Chains A and B, each alone.
Chain A
Amino acid sequence: DIVMTQSPLSLPVTLGQPASISCRSSQSLVYSDGNTYLDWFQQRPGQSPRRLIYKVSNRDSGVPDRISGSGSGTDFTLKISRVEAEDVGIYYCMQGTYWPYSFGQGTKLEIK
């Protein structure tokens, strides 16, 4: 099974400053169709998860452009260019290339 490893697990950030979360997979997430099925999710306190990014770098509708995803192969990054109060929550990466799908442990973003 694919293991997804996120870092850091805790991320205190000052409002207006950038934030970056790393996600590494135990093997390449490139599928036979050429796509890389790596998604990012946000879970705000007390809410259901929400997908932010699909296939590494594609923003879902309604996601602000200060949030971006990048990476390839086994190394991926979620970046927030300027953190706002609404960004507080836990962020998860997830691979959907291989069965069973698997999530990272989660990164808790808080305001410093």
Chain B
Amino acid sequence: EVELTESGGGLVQPGGSLRLSCEASGFTFSYYWMSWVRQAPGKGLEWVANIKRDGSERYYVDSVKGRFTISRDNANNSLYLQMSSLRVEDTAVYYCTRELHDWGQGTLVTVSS
């Protein structure tokens, strides 16, 4: 059974940094593209970033380019999202997904002073 477990969310001040992690199990992690998708409170879904199986290609939504970095560790079946220069508008539940087919339960990031 595919399982995706996000962690690392929390309260951070504007301008701060946070690193999200996603632990994957139940499938061969290195075979799949992985994504982060976020959802602001009471709002719709927003795709954030994708990373190729071997990490050689990464794509981002314009609003996070230069501030967020998606990465992965295939040896440890883990996906990451390093977030810096955080803004109030980055407040959201962040979901880890396997090719948008399987989703974790999400981790809440709150950016507030």
Q: Which residues from chain A sit less than 8 Å from chain B, CB to CB?
A: 1, 39, 41, 43, 48-51, 54, 60, 90, 92, 94, 96, 99-106
Chain A's closest residue to B35 (CB) is A101
Which residue in A54, A92, A101 is a CB contact (below 8 Å) of B44?
A92
Residue B105, interface by CB 8 Å: yes
Chain B: minimal CB distance from A78 (Å): 15
A-B contact pairs, 16 of them (CB 8 A): A1-B62, A39-B100, A48-B105, A48-B106, A49-B37, A49-B45, A54-B101, A94-B45, A94-B47, A96-B100, A100-B59, A100-B60, A100-B62, A101-B47, A103-B44, A106-B44
Q: Which residues from chain B sit less than 8 Å from chain A, CB to CB?
A: 37, 44-47, 50, 59-62, 95, 100-101, 103-106
Whether the pair B44, A100 counts as a contact (CB closer than 8 A) is no
CA distance A100 to B47 in the complex (A): 8
CA distance A65 to B95 in the complex (A): 27
Residues of the B chain whose Cβ atoms lie less than 8 Å from the Cβ of A96 = 100
Residues of the B chain whose Cβ atoms lie less than 8 Å from the Cβ of A54 = 101
CA distance A1 to B104 in the complex (A): 27
Chain A's closest residue to B37 (CB) is A49
